[in-house]
Structures are given as structure tokens and as C-alpha cells.
């Protein structure tokens, strides 16, 4: 049959079909929803040596619908007593829920003659708790397991689970970790080192800036070209500052009086100067290529911006909101910190094995100190006059004396830190370890790790109430 004739037949069929009623097709629109985060609370060791394997877990809506959740691990045991662990994190429809259901695959206890299997329930175990999931919010729940009470007749495992909602704690005990891949901020208790809640943010939350007096946490939402403002008392985003399309803000810096904030716009090679009272961008300053961080001088009059791709530092006069100098620096400068007096600026970069010390008044290098390659984090502890440098290559922290301007010590850790904060009340160091998806608390004097908690994918920055 000729192509022209085939076309005529098809066209005729199409016109004819339009004359008859058509079947109704329902367009399915994407439903807005929230996310559910479940933590397994510490399993206190009671000598039972219990090991339980989870098969699956669901969230139960009030209408009886079950929503499967993604388990992040399956085995519950007492090998790590005192450790809180992230159990599940999944997007779910918004609405009212009645609890969760847990299906046990197997369970066993370790006895004198080896591991003995326990009888497990055939049906999922219901754990009741009424809770709501709101659109674009993260609901955090905390699951407990009574290891001793769950073993009956020495051969049967009848799990006694409990489920609790997020609880309020004293605000001065809280800390915050941004999770750039999961679009929320973890709220943790800096004393007990347990996550106590979660705050939904814009896309790719990265740098944090904390105004402790006003109770505001500023978050750079890189993929939204915006800055989210969290009320730390209410634990939710209450305001948003929109920047220009394509800015991609990565880091934030607050002036000493907290009246001015700088947003480091890595994608547009600019700095946004923001009035924190009016929540407005008051100036926009071009800087070098790929700026990744900024620090403000203790006087509040100048800012120094690390331009990673152009190997330079832009010096900004904050009284006139303009760049006054550009300093060449080797090794892709990415992080910097001032000493307490503001007389020295310490600069590091992943491609330089040295800590560079600049005189911020005369704008020149005064000294360099060898610390090794892959430097990614820096913290100047003004209380002890020590400078801590986190190194990828050594998976450790180099300790520099700012008074003697020399390397004095090394702290070994299990993974390189991406960001560090020092608590002024306990003199404890908090470190974000992205490769482990954790936050670690350490005593920098004894070099002893005190606790580690799971904070999720894309762990980026940490801020704690009472930090210095």
C-alpha cells in the first residue's frame, strides 16, 4: 500500500474517533507530602546479647493505609550500647498517622553454647503513636526497644517497642547540623549527643550562621538561591531572603554585632551584603572566581573572601561595600579564621600543604607553617590561642600555637572533618565527618572522642549554642 494512502486512512480514523465519547483518563498529580525520620534510641546492654533482624517497617495512616519506609540498616544489637542510630528516612504523604508497624525477620541471643534462635512474631508488630506529617516538613520519631522485657520463656521474642515524638529541650543545649543532600537540619542535644528533632529547609542547606542572642539560625539554601531563617525556639523556618537566580550561596558570615551578614555566592562569583534587621540585600559585590567562604574582621569593618578557583583573597571594605584589594594565594584558598585580636588571618586550602598567616592590616604574608596536604577545615580557638586545622590526607587535626606561630601537636580522628565548632561552656570540639555521615564530640585536651551521632547524607556544617 502506498504511503500516501496509509496516511489518508489513519487521518480518517482519527477524525472518526473524535465523533465518539472518549474514555475518561484521570490525570495523576504529584501529591505534596513530608518526610518521616526515625531514630533508634540507644539499646542499653543488659547482658542479654540480643540480636534482632528487621525485615521491613511501615508508617500507618489513620485510615489504615501502610506506607513502606526505607530501612537504613536491618540489624539491632547491643554491640554499641549508648549509641543512637538513624533507622529510617522516607518521603510520605501528608496527613494523620496512628503509628508504625515493624516486621521482625529473626532474633537470637548469645548463650554459653553459642547463638540461640528465638521464635519471632509472624505478623508485624504495631507500635502506636498518633502523629501528623505536614507538607514539606520533617517529622522526627524516636523508637525504643526493651531488650530484657522482649524475651519471654527464654525462647520467644515478643518485642516491646516504644515510639516517642521529638521533644523540646533547653535552647542553650541545642546544636545544629546541615544535611545538604536531604534538605533538613538536624537538631541535637550537645550534652547527651542525641538528635532531638529535625527542621526542613530549602534545597541543599549548607553554611550556617547562628545569632544566639536573637535565637536565629541562618541557613544558606544553595539550590534555592536563598537564605532560610530558623527560629530556634520554634524549630522551624520563619523567614526567607531570596537572592538572585544562579547565586548558589554556600557559606554565611555574621558581623560581630550581628547586624550584617555576608552570603558567599559561589555560582555567581559575588558576595551579598544583607541587613539582618530588614532582611534585605543592601549591596552586591563582585569577587574572584568560585568564592567558597568569607570571614569578617573582629572590628566589623573588613571582610576577606576565599576565591578558590582564582587562587586569591578579595578584601572588602564593609563601610563602602566594595573590594579594595585582591591578594594572590597558592593552593586554592577555601577556609580562613582570625585570631582574637584580629592581627593575624590564618588561611588554608586543599592544594597547599601549608597554613598561611596574613597580616590583615598590611595585607601581606608573614609566615607559613607546614601542616600537610588536603586541609579542609579550620578553627581558631581564641580561649586557648590554638588554631585547629582539619586535614583529609592525615585524617587528623593539626594543632598550631598562634602565640608561638608553630605546629605543636596532632589529634588523630577516624575521618577528616568538613567543619568544626567549639563549645564555650564545656570547651568541647564538635566535628562534622561527612564520609561517616556523623557528628563527633571530642575533648581537645585529652584528644578523646566522647560521642558520635548519625546525622545523615551530605552532613556539611555545625553550629552550637554557646559556641565561641
Q: Using the 3D structure, point to which of 145, 165, 185 is the last residue of a domain.
A: 165
Q: Is the pLDDT of residue 367 over 70?
A: yes
Q: Is the pLDDT of residue 398 over 50?
A: yes
* Least confidently predicted of 10-19, 212-221, 233-242, 379-388: 10-19
User: Looking at the structure, do residues 353 and 207 belong to the same domain, yes or no?
Assistant: yes
Domain limits for position 113: 33-165
Q: What is the mean pLDDT of residues 210-237?
A: 97
User: Looking at the structure, do residues 450 and 343 belong to the same domain, yes or no?
Assistant: yes
Q: Is the pLDDT of residue 25 over 50?
A: no
Q: Is the pLDDT of residue 107 over 70?
A: yes
Rg value, the chain, Cα: 27
User: Looking at the structure, do residues 359 and 422 belong to the same domain, yes or no?
Assistant: yes
3-state SS class at 148: coil
Answer yes or no: is 98 within a domain: yes
User: Looking at the structure, do residues 211 and 161 belong to the same domain, yes or no?
Assistant: no
CA dist., res. 433 & res. 106, Å (int): 33
Q: What would the grid cell of residue 139 be?
A: 517529622
**Ranges of H-type helices in 85-154:** none
- What percent of the chain lies above the pLDDT cut of 70? 91
What pLDDT digit, counting tens, does each position of 305-324 carry?
999 999 999 999 999 999 99
User: Looking at the structure, do residues 197 and 95 belong to the same domain, yes or no?
Assistant: no
CA dist., res. 468 & res. 461, Å (int): 15
Q: Is the pLDDT of residue 71 over 90?
A: yes
CB-based contact 204:222 (threshold 8 Å): yes
Structure confidence at residue 247 (pLDDT): 98
CA dist., res. 397 & res. 431, Å (int): 11
Confidence of residue 47 (pLDDT cuts 50, 70, 90): low
User: Looking at the structure, do residues 364 and 443 belong to the same domain, yes or no?
Assistant: yes
The CATH number given to whatever domain includes residue 47 is 2.60.40
CB-based contact 304:330 (threshold 8 Å): no
Structure confidence at residue 405 (pLDDT): 85
Answer yes or no: is 28 within a domain: no
Q: What would the grid cell of residue 82 be?
A: 549508648
Q: Is the pLDDT of residue 231 over 60?
A: yes
Q: Using the 3D structure, point to which of 141, 165, 189 is the last residue of a domain.
A: 165
What pLDDT digit, counting tens, does each position of 176-185 carry?
999 999 999 9
CA dist., res. 228 & res. 108, Å (int): 47
Q: Which helix (H) or strand (E) holds 3?
A: helix 3-17
Q: Kindly give the pairing relationship between strand 85-93 and strand 33-40.
A: antiparallel
CA dist., res. 348 & res. 341, Å (int): 19
Answer yes or no: is 79 within a domain: yes
Amino acid at each position: 500500500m502506498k504511503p500516501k494512502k496509509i496516511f489518508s486512512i489513519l487521518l480518517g480514523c482519527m477524525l472518526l474517533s473524535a465523533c465518539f465519547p472518549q474514555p475518561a483518563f484521570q490525570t495523576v498529580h504529584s501529591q505534596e507530602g513530608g518526610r518521616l525520620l526515625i531514630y533508634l534510641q540507644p539499646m542499653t546492654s543488659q547482658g542479654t546479647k540480643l540480636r534482632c533482624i528487621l525485615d521491613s517497617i511501615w508508617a500507618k495512616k489513620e485510615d489504615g493505609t501502610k506506607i513502606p519506609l526505607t530501612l537504613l540498616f536491618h540489624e539491632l544489637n547491643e554491640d554499641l550500647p549508648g549509641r543512637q542510630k538513624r533507622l529510617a528516612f522516607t518521603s510520605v504523604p501528608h496527613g494523620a498517622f496512628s503509628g508504625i508497624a515493624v516486621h521482625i525477620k529473626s532474633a537470637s541471643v548469645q548463650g554459653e553454647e553459642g547463638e540461640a534462635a528465638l521464635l519471632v512474631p509472624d505478623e508485624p508488630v504495631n507500635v502506636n503513636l498518633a502523629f501528623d506529617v505536614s507538607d514539606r516538613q520533617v517529622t522526627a520519631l524516636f523508637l525504643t526497644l526493651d531488650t530484657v522485657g522482649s524475651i519471654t520463656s527464654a525462647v520467644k521474642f515478643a518485642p516491646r517497642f516504644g515510639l516517642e515524638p521529638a521533644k523540646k529541650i533547653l535552647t542553650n543545649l541545642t546544636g545544629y547540623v546541615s544535611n545538604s543532600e536531604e534538605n533538613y537540619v538536624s537538631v541535637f542535644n550537645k550534652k547527651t549527643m542525641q538528635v532531638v528533632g529535625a527542621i526542613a529547609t530549602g534545597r541543599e542547606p549548607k553554611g550556617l550562621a547562628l545569632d544566639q542572642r536573637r535565637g536565629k539560625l541562618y541557613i544558606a539554601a544553595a539550590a534555592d538561591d536563598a537564605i532560610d531563617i530558623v527560629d530556634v525556639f520554634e524549630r522551624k523556618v520563619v523567614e526567607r531572603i531570596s537572592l538572585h537566580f544562579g547565586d548558589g550561596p554556600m557559606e554565611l558570615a555574621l558581623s560581630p554585632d550581628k547586624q550584617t551578614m555576608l552570603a558567599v555566592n559561589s555560582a555567581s562569583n559575588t558576595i551579598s551584603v544583607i541587613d539582618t534587621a530588614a532582611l534585605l540585600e543592601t549591596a552586591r559585590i563582585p569577587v574572584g572566581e568560585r568564592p567558597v567562604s568569607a570571614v569578617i574582621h573582629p572590628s566589623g569593618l573588613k571582610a576577606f573572601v576565599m576565591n578558590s578557583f582564582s587562587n586569591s583573597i578579595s578584601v572588602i571594605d564593609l563601610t563602602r561595600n566594595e573590594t579594595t584589594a585582591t591578594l594572590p594565594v597558592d593552593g586554592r584558598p577555601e577556609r580562613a579564621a582570625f585570631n582574637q585580636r584580629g592581627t593575624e588571618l590564618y588561611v588554608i586550602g586543599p592544594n597547599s600543604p601549608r597554613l598561611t598567616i596574613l597580616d590583615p592590616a598590611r595585607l601581606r604574608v608573614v609566615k607559613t607553617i607546614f601542616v600537610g596536604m588536603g586541609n579542609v577545615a579550620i578553627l581558631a580557638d581564641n580561649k586557648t590561642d590554638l588554631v585547629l586545622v582539619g586535614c583529609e590526607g592525615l585524617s587528623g587535626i593539626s594543632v598550631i600555637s598562634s602565640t608561638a606561630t608553630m605546629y605543636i601537636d596532632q589529634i588523630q580522628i577516624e575521618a577528616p572533618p568538613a567543619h568544626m565548632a567549639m563549645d564555650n561552656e564545656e570547651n568541647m570540639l564538635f566535628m562534622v565527618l561527612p564520609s561517616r555521615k556523623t557528628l563527633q564530640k571530642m575533648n581537645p585536651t585529652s584528644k578523646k572522642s566522647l560521642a558520635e551521632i548519625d546525622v545523615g547524607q551530605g552532613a556539611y556544617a555545625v553550629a552550637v549554642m554557646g559556641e565561641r
